[in-house]
Structure 1
Amino acid sequence: MALATQPATNFLNKKNPLLNNFSTKQPKISTRSLVIRNSATVAPPSTIKVAKECKVKSVKARQIIDSRGNPTVEVDLITDDQLYRSAVPSGASTGIYEALELRDGDKSVYGGKGVLSAVQNINHILGPKLLGVDVRDQANVDAIMLDIDGTPNKANLGANAILGVSLSVCRAGAGAKGVPLYKHIQEISGTKELVMPVPAFNVINGGSHAGNNLAMQEFMILPVGATNFAEALRMGSEVYHTLKKIIEKKYGQDACNVGDEGGFAPNVQDNREGLVLLIDAIERAGYTGKIKIGMDVAASEFLKDGKYDLNFKNQPNDGAHVLSAQSLGDLYREFIKEFPIVSIEDPFDQDDWNSWASLQSSVDIQLVGDDLLVTNPKRIAEAIQKKACNGLLLKASIKSIIFSFSYSFYRSTVTESIRAALDSKAAGWGVMVSHRSGETEDNFIADLSVGLASGQIKTGAPCRSERLAKYNQHIRIVVASCSFCALKRNLEMCVMLVKLSDPFKDILWRRNRIVFGAMKSQSYKFSEPGKSSEIFYLTSQHGCQLETIS
């Protein structure tokens, strides 16, 4: 308790001069905050007026521990009648263009990863400035914080400090209206329908998330053939347990250790072998054709001297696994032909624009930009102009991206995240809401994915409490909303929509139906090799018709 509330004035004032004069200095109105004020109150003014006025009485932060054992920020915001709590996650692989996650840097305490400076920025700068501010106006609160910080990458206060407060404000806004969080997010974003997302379960971990030799970071399964979220969760769990048996039999019991996100971390080096393991598990679980594969390569982690070292965890090495960008692109194309891959995230380095564009033009799957875009509007605009990707990774985290790449919501404010998702959809991109490797029990992103109708979410394997906190929240949303669903069926989820390869033809679209990822207003009829033609478009018979929570 003492650590969370102690001013630590001398130490912090040296690191952040804002603490010396925060009470008297008026923040300059930044261009970025004006954009937020003007565009991110996307909700009609009526949605603010219907709720009773609800002002901030207190904002207090503390240092807690995330799922990887590292410190992170937790924020308690108190209004007249309620306490609203939020916690901020953190990632292992980060882009060089991300907003700044403020760490203390004292190597003698938590190896330099403490966040007491961010905590004190909340307790002594943001908190006092926000007293009396109305939580119903999310855009205004976020703009105030951006003005106080005054930097384009949140370097003064820390993105982890600003996000923690922003999340709690959003929860308080929902409380003021007396509506669920996902409904509040729907209203302030102007989203027309509420959609249950297709989960992308990360069942094999590599890269920076595991201590094995796999270079590529995440191997995911997407149950696109499920008729509702509960069934999708069941399919993911059954494949996960089947995979465990396969790995144990093939590599031994110690190969069933898990990585940061709950996926298994078998000590294999060949990335193709990871994909073969997934196919084997899907087939043995009885879900062939109903479950597709996604990957998060995080290629920036193993770029060295302009080439990609797939054996980067073993240094020095003989260079036998070092590939040029062209060779790595060819490897992806081989994977796509050989396996039912529908989504690849960060296939190349964040500055390797030509390779991104080359792959995007030659394959018909979803390419998601995370490190590539990092919620940076300029980089998003550049990606659109260069046709580098077609998907946004949206994380409630310290990044902030704006188009259909895997958007890192955790690097921005709630308002910036909403703006990014809306801009992504307007550009025809898909949006995948995402967790981070260093997670907490906070389940905000579950409501975010439903309220924004993102259609996709990835939040780890179907195990570990910090991952299941999000998946289980989706189940609660379904159960709570069943009494007033627009259709008589249970709330249904969206089906995978990506422009897949040549066999996926005969576009059949219904405007009142939803698609996984919302990349384009289309769905596909296709034939898989050796199988009869199958309709994969959206019909109530397949349990994929749009269902709205009122």
Structure 2
Amino acid sequence: MTAIENIKGRRVWDSRGNPTIEVEITLENGKLGRAIAPAGASRGTREAIDLRDGGKHLRGMDVQKALHHLNHQIAPEFVGKNIEDQADLDQLLLQLDPSPLKSKLGGNAMVATSLAFLHASAANLDQPLWQRVSKLYGRTPSLPLPEIQIFGGGAHAGRRVDIQDFMVMVPGAKSFDEVMEITNEIYFAAGDLMKAKGQLAGVADEGGWWPNFDSNEEALETLVRAIEKAGEKPGDRVVISLDVAASEFGKDGQYKLALEDRDLSSAQLIELLGQWIADYPIASIEDPLGEDDPEGMIEFTKRFGDRVQIIGDDFLVTNAKLVKDAQQMGACNAVLIKVNQAGTVSEAIAAFEAASQQGWQSIVSARSGETEDVSISRLAVGLGAGQLKVGSFTRSERMAKWNEVLRIQDQLGAGAFVQGAPLHNTFWAQKGQ
């Protein structure tokens, strides 16, 4: 047994310039564990609360309330506790705040603490975090297939286009390095195309190009042309992935495409997305329908689940029960894993395991408000999750996470890269790749 000697919370700052929480845990042997809470702009209504102070100071975004809870309610309860059992530590956290959305202490305080437990336990054993995760949860580590944003949209770009993320995946690459090279070419080709049309207007929250388009289809067309300009054949080594984030522009089965001033029913949105699937090399779609539209999600999965990966994000909020419910309903066939969405590492792992038990794929994901913390890269590798989504190809809080996988590649070897294996139930598989 190795006991926790001290827990300290501090205010730090995220990639959007907002305050967030860092937790530092010191063990009795002097080893340290440290983690930072990310923050999302597009948030499901059932995910853990990002507790903010409100009021005018720092636009209401300060975290002094959550920090006070951390330093005065959470920290004293854990001094002297054994760092070796993540499940027990997380369970005590949940006993301190049993509210469904972590509204008492704040999901931001809780997730930073839970991740710091994991870091400290790895440090205690002199193991890299990915190895600690692999051994703790009995998983075979692997290098994940990246999902990388080229154009940002939705809540990440002032809702300039309705679709939140236009991304590429390179399941045909032979190594993680090759994914980075190909994505580099596509990313800057997209910027060149926008510059040539006078549409280059900077970058969105996660580093993708600002979407200066007249329609959502124009973004898709430009992405296809960027893939071609990079010397690739769309649908060959490179495929497209979308995060629709439909809850951001839909309610009660009715959807408003503001860019095009179009009102769509659930059935009409399904038809529109189905047409895109037919017209473009799309292998993955996240949240195609709203979190309050289970009938629409079931219908979409019924029609397109044998062709594309259908990811639940706001629809499932990294919740094991919601994953199991969706499996029974026939909604989605993959889950996005965001630790801060659940609130603790153990709850996120439970959602991951619920998905895995039924053959679903998992995508470990960052948030739009990120930091230099690279925990999720290590989690994705250690769990053998298969896929990782951290944003775009620029901005250091994003590249830090891609670069961490490259460092781990030096330890695991390039042969640990999953290539297109996680896309077994998609467009990619149907091409016979």
TM range (shorter): over 0.9
Could you say what secondary structure the match of 2:151 adopts?
A: strand
Partner of 1:494: 419
Aligned with residue 227 of structure 1, among 169, 174, 184: 174
Amino acid at match of 1:115: V
Whole-angstrom distance in 2 between the partners of 1:386 and 1:357 = 7
Kindly indicate whether residue 403 of structure 2 is the aligned counterpart of residue 472 of structure 1: yes
Equivalent runs, 1:142-541 vs 2, <5 Å: 142-191=90-139, 193-211=140-158, 213-252=160-199, 255-288=200-233, 289-304=236-251, 306-311=253-258, 320-363=261-304, 364-397=307-340, 399-400=341-342, 412-482=343-413, 490-496=415-421, 497-500=423-426, 524=429, 526=431, 535-536=432-433
Amino acid at match of 2:348: S
Whole-angstrom distance in 2 between the partners of 1:269 and 1:76 = 47
Contact 1:211/1:265 (8 A) holds in 2: no
Measured after TM superposition, the shift of residue 303 of structure 1 is 1.4
Could you say what secondary structure the match of 1:437 adopts?
A: coil
Unaligned runs of 5+ in 1: 1-52, 313-318, 401-411, 483-488, 505-523, 527-534, 537-550
Partner of 2:36: 87
Measured after TM superposition, the shift of residue 320 of structure 1 is 4.1
Amino acid at match of 1:244: G
Per-residue displacement from partner, 1:391-411 (whole Å, max 9, x unpaired)? 1100121x12xxxxxxxxxxx
Measured after TM superposition, the shift of residue 492 of structure 1 is 2.7
Measured after TM superposition, the shift of residue 305 of structure 1 is 6.4
Partner of 2:72: 124
Measured after TM superposition, the shift of residue 119 of structure 1 is 0.9
Are residues 301 and 60 of structure 1, via their aligned partners in 2, closer, same or farther at CA, if it must alter by over 3 Å?
Answer: same
Whole-angstrom distance in 2 between the partners of 1:59 and 1:474 = 28
Contact 1:441/1:469 (8 A) holds in 2: yes
Partner of 1:13: none
Per-residue displacement from partner, 1:274-332 (whole Å, max 9, x unpaired)? 111111111111122111100001111111564211117xxxxxx84111111110011
Measured after TM superposition, the shift of residue 381 of structure 1 is 2.6
Per-residue displacement from partner, 1:518-538 (whole Å, max 9, x unpaired)? xxxxxx463xxxxxxxx52xx
Query: Which aligned segments of 4 or more residues in structure 1 are displaced greater than 6 angstroms?
Result: none
Taking structure 1 as the reference length, the TM-score comes to: 0.75
Partner of 1:114: 62
Taking structure 2 as the reference length, the TM-score comes to: 0.95
Contact 1:78/1:84 (8 A) holds in 2: yes
Instruction: Report sequence identity in percent.
Output: 38
Aligned-residue CA RMSD in angstroms?
Answer: 1.6
Measured after TM superposition, the shift of residue 120 of structure 1 is 1.2
Amino acid at match of 2:100: P
Partner of 1:71: 19
Measured after TM superposition, the shift of residue 81 of structure 1 is 1.6
Could you say what secondary structure the match of 2:197 adopts?
A: helix
Measured after TM superposition, the shift of residue 214 of structure 1 is 0.5
Larger helix percent: 2
Per-residue displacement from partner, 1:167-212 (whole Å, max 9, x unpaired)? 1110111111111100100111111x21110100011011111036
Highest relative contact order (Cα 8 Å, sep 6+), 1 or 2? 2
Whose Rg is larger?
Answer: 1
Measured after TM superposition, the shift of residue 490 of structure 1 is 4.5
Count of paired positions: 427
Partner of 1:100: 49
Unaligned runs of 5+ in 2: none
Per-residue displacement from partner, 1:323-348 (whole Å, max 9, x unpaired)? 11111100111110111101111111
